[in-house]
Amino acid sequence: MSRPFQIHHFVAIAGRAIDESTSRPVAGADAEIASGPAEFERRRAAMGPWVKAASRDDRVKTSADGIFCFLDLPDGTYELLVKAAGAPPANAVVTVNRSGRAVAPPSVVDVALQLTRLPDSPSPKPIKSRKIAGGRQRT
């Protein structure tokens, strides 16, 4: 009897996008690897521009709790770029070093985004009512 085919992945980089001022997670932000070591860049170039963003392993969206991860990366230094609506892009530099181990803890990073806040709006002025012919009030 044959054994089922198994694929094992390792989390190379794990991160969390957070709001810089509140430390709350930022859901739905775009995290991408802006640059990486030569081996990674060769693999990315081989994908070509026609590969849909959803299936690329160098771009992910953060989950509801702001978490993102990149799998199966070769050792080296990576620059991450995280973008979210209402914030300028934020970057982080992370080093992956498995030292030849099959299982190694991921490199972990928090990326703080400077989300813009709307200024407090003044309280609305009350609307004055006035009497009109027929006895009904008009506002």
Residue 37 falls inside a structural domain: yes
Question: What CATH number does the domain containing 63 carry?
Answer: 2.60.40.1120
Residue 124 falls inside a structural domain: no
Mean pLDDT across the chain: 78
Domain containing 22 equals 11-98+105-115
Residues of the chain with pLDDT under 70: 1-9, 49-55, 100-105, 116-139
Task: Determine the pLDDT at residue 110.
Answer: 82
Residue 3 falls inside a structural domain: no
Task: Determine the pLDDT at residue 118.
Answer: 47
Number of domains composing the chain:
1
Residue 138 falls inside a structural domain: no
Residue 110 falls inside a structural domain: yes
Q: Give the integer Cα–Cα distance in Å for 56 and 32.
A: 10
Task: Determine the pLDDT at residue 25.
Answer: 92
CB contact at 8 A, 70 and 60: yes
Task: Determine the pLDDT at residue 72.
Answer: 84
Residue 25 falls inside a structural domain: yes
pTM given for the model: 0.70
